Amino acid sequence: MENFLYNTPTRVYFGKGTENQVGQLVKEQKCKKVLVHYGSGSVIRSGLLDRVKKSLDEAGIAYVELGGVVPNPHLSKVYEGIDLCRKEGVDFILAVGGGSVIDSAKAIGYGLANEGDVWDFYAFKRVPTACAPVGVILTLAATGSEMSNSSVITKEDGGIKRGCNTEYGRPRFAIMNPELTMTLPPYQTAAGASDIMMHTMERYLCKTDPTLELTDGIAEHLLRVVMKNARILVDDPANYQARAEVMWAGSLSHNGLTGCGTDGGGWESHRLEHELSGMFDVTHGAGLTAIWGSWARYAIDCRPARFAQLAINVAGVKAPEGYELGKDSACDKEIGLKGIAAMEDFFHSINMPVNMKELGIDPTDAQIDELADKCWKACTDGNKTSLGSIRPLLRDDMKAIYEMARG
């Protein structure tokens, strides 16, 4: 087991009606003025925004609003938020929405608490030394941003999507009522479940050997629970128990728990997908499922036993009689490939794509080159010599995976 730091300072308020506590929770932060940050129409149509403002009013909290956050949140909105907060004297940010809103709120927090251009932190030019405090009311189970240290922002000029991960970015509190996710379109629910799974698999498919019984067991069970309940939600989107299981799994998948004691994984699928959504503005979870199988088949030879373990313990592949994990690499690979196919069958079962064609995009050869160039530049800008853990990827490897994923 490798050394690790496990830090989860976010206080979670989980269950029905918890959003009504927001006024008191913000008041406990002893702030002077709040920015209520949200997306487009859903929080308004559902009445959630009105309930939030009522709770703030009753607690005597002054606030200003900034809506309009879009999926793959834009840098321009972050700049707008920073300017508004400075003008209004805001010292606390309340994100009401899903991962895009939370990531935008964190970026605004970085911009408020540090001098200079906030994009520097996402372009790996500087490291933030603070973040204005952030609280969350979660409306979409997906990114895990409500408990994570990460924030991902898209710079519209050039379609560049980059992340900034620091402990300063962990929210002070997260309000999580599964009922708030029931109005989501089925596609967004499925994409969110896929994103949750990928956060776990990115850590699980790592290079650390020997494997860790406890950490692996947590990760494997989390994956099985999400798969079971994502299937339920396809036919029964109002199932509270299934919504609750998926929502809590989303937080645990990305707060560091499923990577404790490992090398943390290589995050290859996320890095490759960021360029897809940066260029084509696709839904993040769907972009991940479209790229994952191609990456997995590209990487399996470097650690077939790890893929075989995923196949047997998560994907439901039956091992042949007498099989022992890690004793025969050819048999490991055969089982691992069956597991990759089984995971893709699961993604299809919840109407997620497993290649770019199914995702609805058809990149040209020039665009494939550009995707590989941008992905490689993100590595070199971050002072990395390759991408990944199981099989380190160079620029031509990235291009090969994009080509495999065309469908």
Whether residue 210 sits in one domain with residue 119: no
Strand locations in 160-200, DSSP E? 160-165, 173-176
Whether residue 305 sits in one domain with residue 359: yes
Residue 5 maps to a domain: no
The dihedral region occupied by 93, where left means phi > 0, alpha psi between -120 and 50, and beta the remainder, is: beta
Q: Which helix (H) or strand (E) holds 138?
A: strand 134-138
Whether residue 333 sits in one domain with residue 245: yes
Of 180, 215, 240, the position where a domain reaches its end is: 180
Instruction: Give the structural domain span for 201.
Output: 185-404
**CA–CA separation, 313 vs 307, rounded Å?**
10
Task: Give whole-number Cα distances, 135 to 132, 150, 294, 312, 317, in Å.
Answer: 10, 14, 37, 39, 41
Lookup: tokens for 47: 């009445």
Whether residue 176 sits in one domain with residue 77: yes
Whether residue 245 sits in one domain with residue 171: no
**CA–CA separation, 269 vs 296, rounded Å?**
9
Provide the CATH number for the domain around residue 170.
3.40.50.1970
> What are φ and ψ of residue 377, in 5° steps?
-65, -35
Where the chain has pLDDT below 70, the residues are 210
Residue-level pLDDT at 2: 84
Residue 2 maps to a domain: no
Residue 119 bridge partners (DSSP): none
Residue-level pLDDT at 211: 74
**CA–CA separation, 406 vs 299, rounded Å?**
17
Whether residue 217 sits in one domain with residue 149: no
Provide the CATH number for the domain around residue 260.
1.20.1090.10
Rounded to 10 deg, the angle between the 186-204 and 213-235 helix axes is 170
Of 129, 159, 180, the position where a domain reaches its end is: 180
Whether residue 89 sits in one domain with residue 29: yes
How many structural domains comprise the chain?
Answer: 2
Of 126, 161, 180, the position where a domain reaches its end is: 180
Residue 4 maps to a domain: no
Residue 6 maps to a domain: no
Residue 23 maps to a domain: yes
pLDDT per position as a tens digit, 189-242: 999 999 999 999 999 999 887 678 999 999 999 999 999 999 999 999 999 999
Whether residue 206 sits in one domain with residue 137: no
Whether residue 274 sits in one domain with residue 193: yes
Residue-level pLDDT at 132: 98
Whether residue 206 sits in one domain with residue 79: no
- Quote the pTM value: 0.95
Whether residue 349 sits in one domain with residue 205: yes
Whether residue 216 sits in one domain with residue 138: no
Long-range contacts of 118-123 (CB under 8 A, 24+ apart): 118/75, 118/78, 118/79, 118/82, 119/75, 119/153, 119/155, 121/164, 122/75, 122/153, 122/155, 122/162, 122/163, 122/164, 123/162, 123/381
Residue-level pLDDT at 383: 87
Residue-level pLDDT at 226: 98
Rounded to 10 deg, the angle between the 284-299 and 329-349 helix axes is 160
pLDDT per position as a tens digit, 143-189: 999 999 999 999 999 999 999 999 999 999 999 999 999 989 999 99
